[in-house]
Structure 1
Amino acid sequence: MILETANAQDARVEALWSQLDTRKQGHLDLNGLKRGLRKIDHPLKNADHLLKDVLKSVDADGNGEISYSEFHQFVRQTENELWQLFKSIDRNSDGRLDKGELRTGFLRAGLRVPDSKLNQFFSEVDSNNDGVISFEEWRDFLLFIPAETPSLKAVMSYYSSTVQMNPEGDVAVNDELINGLGYFAAGGVAGIVSRTTTAPLDRLKVYLIAQTSTAETAVQAAKSGAPVVAAKQGAKSLLVASKELWAAGGMRSLYAGNGLNVVKVMPESAVKFGAFEASKRMFAKIEGHGNPRDIHTWSKFMAGGFGGMVSQAVVYPLDTLKFRMQCDTVSGGLHGNKLIIATAKKMWMKDGLRSFYRGLPMGLFGIFPYAAIDLGTFEYLKRAVTVYNAEKRGCHEEQAEPGSFMTAFIGGFSGAFGASLVYPLNLLRTRLQSQGTVLHPRTYTGIMDVTRQTIKGEGVRGLFKGLTPNLLKVVPAVSITYVVYEKSKQALELH
């Protein structure tokens, strides 16, 4: 042990025991240990879950109490392990640790600790604020670390647990909770900006999906000298559809349903990204390392799927109302709030609450693979670019994340890839939601019926109707969403 005789160590341990054993009973149970740690203002004083592990580590005979001899043996063994760990970090062997040595030690241990957390940890351990950590400071701060052989991973896990308790002994509003709320806020802002920007393309997509006329009918109408009928009955081109939407109400028609969309998208995006980040943390704990950045690729895809399903279920009634409102927007008809109220009343009068949830199973079935592919692919590619940049620049990953252009490119690719694969499910779900409207008067009995009628009337190609405007909307929408989301996370200092 460093510059300390056995007698000096015994005296120090005995003095510490005397402070912990506040009632001078000669032994400590869990409550007694908590009282003693509060007296010396130790970081573990309110961390009940860790104290139970400490008690088990010290209590050699397993009787639920710590005797002085057990405590003395625990301290000697733990201090020796901490000394070995300290020496492995102290590369210049000067008996002091600076931030550079600590950062290098964490990197060698496979831990990429953000600078903000490293600085916070360093200031906590450096009790005399002299800019370096002595072994005495290191030892006193980490003495009760619940690990047989302390490692830097155990140290960081221990530290993260101790800083989450408030003076009353309750779990404080810690970084993880604050970050969780921040992810919801960042997701909500990203959704609003993205949906408002691409609202006309979304309107065009829904309009085309609602068209069910067959190409054969259009051909027959053209042959019989009825080009107007052919144009109405045939699959609408983008140009024709755009002209008809403009004729139905100008710019207002292109943004029909956007107010409702904004009301819908804020909780949708907030819940999607919030649930996604929460799922990543859950999988990180399941995998045993606790770092959401390092979860397995399949875990990222599963987390994305869960996030998508939760958000879809939360906002599905508003989604259905929006689709039906868009399909009831015609020239000379109701617009704005009047149309929203009229559409909602019509839905309620026809089938009650069930009207708002038509196609939900298909929606959840379709959103899981889409969200999994979209969010999972984005996270995978972003991580790959970040690691590449960090290695190329020789810096921490925090300083190597993709810029706005690369983020937009990755987001657009992941969104288009996911949307293309699950588009048929999205089309069938939209038709179930919009059935019985002015633009889509046809009705269905369920998922199998809408599938059968679509393929029978329009062929397999009918399952991909509106894909082009959908991709024209998805690529910029998802790109904008991810750029705004990542920038919002940076502004909120989320990691």
Structure 2
Amino acid sequence: MPRDSNEGTRERDERIEHLWSSLDTRGDGQIDFKGFKKGLKKIDHPLKNADDLLYDILNAIDTSQDGRIQYSEFYSFVKQAENQLWRLFQAIDHDKNGHLDKQELKDAFSNAGLTVPSSKLDQFFADVDTNRDGVISFDEWRRDFLLFLPDTHNLRSVISYYSATGTLNAEGDVHINKTLQGSDQGLEVELEFITVPSLVRLWLSYRYLEEVLTETTPHVGYFLAGGMAGVVSRTATAPFDRLKVYLIAQTHTNSAKSAAINAVKAGAPVKAVGWLSWPIVEATKELWRAGGIRSLFAGNGLNVVKVMPESAIKFGAYEASKRFFASLEGHSDTKNLLPISQFLSGGIGGMISQCCVYPLDTLKFRMQCETVQGGLHGNQLIYSTASKMWQTNGISGYFRGLPLGLLGMFPFAAIDLMTFEYLKSTLVSRSARLAHCHESDVQLSNFSTGAIGAFSGALSASIVYPLNVLRTRLQAQGTVLHKPTYTGIVDVTVRTVRSEGVYGLFRGLTPNLLKVVPSVSISYIVYENSKRLFGLS
């Protein structure tokens, strides 16, 4: 029995008998796996839902290997476990005052090579310190901590943070190279290789994330954060979007391209840049003549109405998809998904959001292509465009080009979000290593988040841009700025390539990239900070 306990043999036996009676819910003197799990749920033990670990626990206690625990086996196990926990308690208690404070726990984890987040350590300490006196006594330690956490060496895995100096080898084992004081006899026990601190990590995970194990629906804050990100970013970049749509709608041959090529051949790079920028300059002048600054923001009202649900659904569906795929993979860590799961999560988020707001998207493009000098503006133009679409094609007119939209959105969303998550996690891991802290304690700067978002957005937008050009032309067909009409996807593709070459598939790419970089950067900065504001991970 541990020396600092005031408990006598009789009191200890009564306590163990009481614990046994709580676990033996059927009262038949033996406990199988189902009964053991039911008993742990009854006492609300942290491992009550950890089936894999419970099988290991049962095997460690069941020395007769008959699949059931008898009281004698249970009694021996508890005595052995408490003795080892007492030795662990003593090793952590550096000042030998019979209590553990938070700093001693933090040092023990750190010295064993375990980086535990400050938030988790605080929560763990609060859970174990049941009388809230700011320290953990041994009675509190053995009552709630690692009593039922076995390993092949009978709980010795819990001593992976047993010493003041420990190193991790290539196999994931902790090499303990300090001699520790033993228990009652004051013996010295040298611990060699003690397996994996992952069991301790698993215990912490099950203790504090058990509710998330079955949760697949994200917090409403994810939707709000996504909506806020969409509104702010798209409004800030509305003129770029207007310019892109105008250039896509143009079908004439671009003489500026030939002039730029000739300038390069003549060794005049400055002239070449001037010719390449000429279409953008002329388009900007034309849009300004159509209505000044108001013309540059034509369709922004619809964009805000469209983007609020689109961004909210996109990010919300992405988070829900990640949780769903995490549950399929058998865990709850959405940051540790397989690459294919991340790809599918991003694609599903993009496709769902695209389907939901596609009619508003079509209305916005057609409205922008009907905004000309001397024409209707504002709400009048919206009503006129919507009415004309309905009278001409009915509901199908609002969904022209949807297959191309879905085909483009899937790789865009998947590449965008997957690239962002990968780069972000890589940067967080590197920062955590340099700062010698846990990854959850790292907060990236807005600049870093923005740079990652800019790169992922530009990359994904460039890859799928030809699909977006064809989709936009299907949506804008028959308008003032884009008079041609098409019979379908094949028709618009053939006619675009035949009349304009491959270049036609990339019309408006420059303003699109100029739009995407700040748009995605602002979007992710607002999204990440909104998640932090709402207390989301």
Q: TM class by shorter-chain length?
A: 0.7 to 0.9
Indicate if the aligned counterparts of 2:40 and 2:48 stay in contact, CA closer than 8 A: no
Taking the aligned partners of 2:300 and 2:246, their CA distance within structure 1 comes to 14
Taking the aligned partners of 1:425 and 1:353, their CA distance within structure 2 comes to 23
How far 1:87 sits from its partner (Å)?
Answer: 5.3
Residues 1:425 and 2:467 aligned together: yes
| One of 440, 455, 459 as aligned partner of 2:501 | 459
Structure 2 match to 1:43: 44
Return 5+ residue gaps in structure 1 as ranges.
166-170, 220-233
How far 1:484 sits from its partner (Å)?
Answer: 1.3
Structure 1 match to 2:272: none
Indicate if the aligned counterparts of 2:222 and 2:315 stay in contact, CA closer than 8 A: yes
Taking the aligned partners of 1:276 and 1:261, their CA distance within structure 2 comes to 21
Indicate if the aligned counterparts of 2:428 and 2:439 stay in contact, CA closer than 8 A: yes
Indicate if the aligned counterparts of 2:227 and 2:308 stay in contact, CA closer than 8 A: yes
Question: For the structure 1 residues 152 and 194, does the alpha-carbon distance in structure 2 shift closer, same or farther, using more than 3 Å as the test?
Answer: same
How far 1:469 sits from its partner (Å)?
Answer: 0.6
Q: As a proportion of its length, which structure holds more helix? A: 1
Indicate if the aligned counterparts of 1:180 and 1:278 stay in contact, CA closer than 8 A: no
Residues 1:282 and 2:321 aligned together: no
| One of 418, 428, 434 as aligned partner of 1:376 | 418
How far 1:250 sits from its partner (Å)?
Answer: 1.4
The code of the aligned residue for 2:383 comes to I
Residues 1:354 and 2:396 aligned together: yes
Q: Residue deviations 1:62-81, cap 9 Å, x none?
A: xxxx99x6466457536755
Structure 1 match to 2:445: 403
Taking the aligned partners of 2:379 and 2:464, their CA distance within structure 1 comes to 32
Structure 1 match to 2:13: 10
Residues 1:129 and 2:177 aligned together: no
Structure 2 match to 1:334: 376
Indicate if the aligned counterparts of 2:29 and 2:71 stay in contact, CA closer than 8 A: no
| One of 485, 497, 510 as aligned partner of 1:468 | 510
| Mean Cα deviation higher: 133-142 or 239-248 | 133-142
Structure 2 match to 1:241: 283
How far 1:443 sits from its partner (Å)?
Answer: 1.6
**Secondary structure at 2:219's aligned position in 1?**
helix
How far 1:49 sits from its partner (Å)?
Answer: 5.9
* Map 1:430-449 → 2, pairs under 5 A: 430-449=472-491
Residues 1:210 and 2:249 aligned together: yes
| Mean Cα deviation higher: 294-303 or 370-379 | 294-303
Question: For the structure 1 residues 353 and 86, does the alpha-carbon distance in structure 2 shift closer, same or farther, using more than 3 Å as the test?
Answer: farther
Structure 1 match to 2:221: 182
Taking the aligned partners of 2:148 and 2:79, their CA distance within structure 1 comes to 10
**Secondary structure at 1:439's aligned position in 2?**
coil
Q: Which has the larger radius of gyration?
A: 2
Return 5+ residue gaps in structure 2 as ranges.
159-198, 259-275
In the superposition, the TM-score normalised over structure 2's length comes to: 0.74
Residues 1:317 and 2:359 aligned together: yes
The code of the aligned residue for 1:267 comes to P
**Secondary structure at 1:43's aligned position in 2?**
coil
Taking the aligned partners of 2:333 and 2:114, their CA distance within structure 1 comes to 9
| Mean Cα deviation higher: 97-106 or 396-405 | 97-106
Structure 1 match to 2:77: 77
Taking the aligned partners of 2:412 and 2:104, their CA distance within structure 1 comes to 44
| Mean Cα deviation higher: 247-256 or 395-404 | 395-404
Indicate if the aligned counterparts of 1:54 and 1:144 stay in contact, CA closer than 8 A: no
How far 1:467 sits from its partner (Å)?
Answer: 0.3
How far 1:190 sits from its partner (Å)?
Answer: 0.9
Taking the aligned partners of 1:418 and 1:399, their CA distance within structure 2 comes to 30
Structure 2 match to 1:152: 200
Question: For the structure 1 residues 81 and 32, does the alpha-carbon distance in structure 2 shift closer, same or farther, using more than 3 Å as the test?
Answer: closer
How far 1:157 sits from its partner (Å)?
Answer: 3.1
Taking the aligned partners of 1:267 and 1:242, their CA distance within structure 2 comes to 30
Question: For the structure 1 residues 381 and 37, does the alpha-carbon distance in structure 2 shift closer, same or farther, using more than 3 Å as the test?
Answer: closer
Query: RMSD of the alignment, in Å?
Result: 4.0
Question: For the structure 1 residues 85 and 256, does the alpha-carbon distance in structure 2 shift closer, same or farther, using more than 3 Å as the test?
Answer: farther
How far 1:257 sits from its partner (Å)?
Answer: 0.9
| Mean Cα deviation higher: 477-486 or 465-474 | 477-486
Q: Residue deviations 1:359-396, cap 9 Å, x none?
A: 12211111122112211222222222222222222233
Q: Residue deviations 1:169-211, cap 9 Å, x none?
A: xx9xx9x86x632222111111111011001111111111111
Question: For the structure 1 residues 485 and 84, does the alpha-carbon distance in structure 2 shift closer, same or farther, using more than 3 Å as the test?
Answer: farther
In the superposition, the TM-score normalised over structure 1's length comes to: 0.79
Question: For the structure 1 residues 85 and 21, does the alpha-carbon distance in structure 2 shift closer, same or farther, using more than 3 Å as the test?
Answer: closer
Taking the aligned partners of 2:323 and 2:110, their CA distance within structure 1 comes to 21
Structure 2 match to 1:272: 314
How far 1:136 sits from its partner (Å)?
Answer: 3.1
Taking the aligned partners of 2:128 and 2:497, their CA distance within structure 1 comes to 68
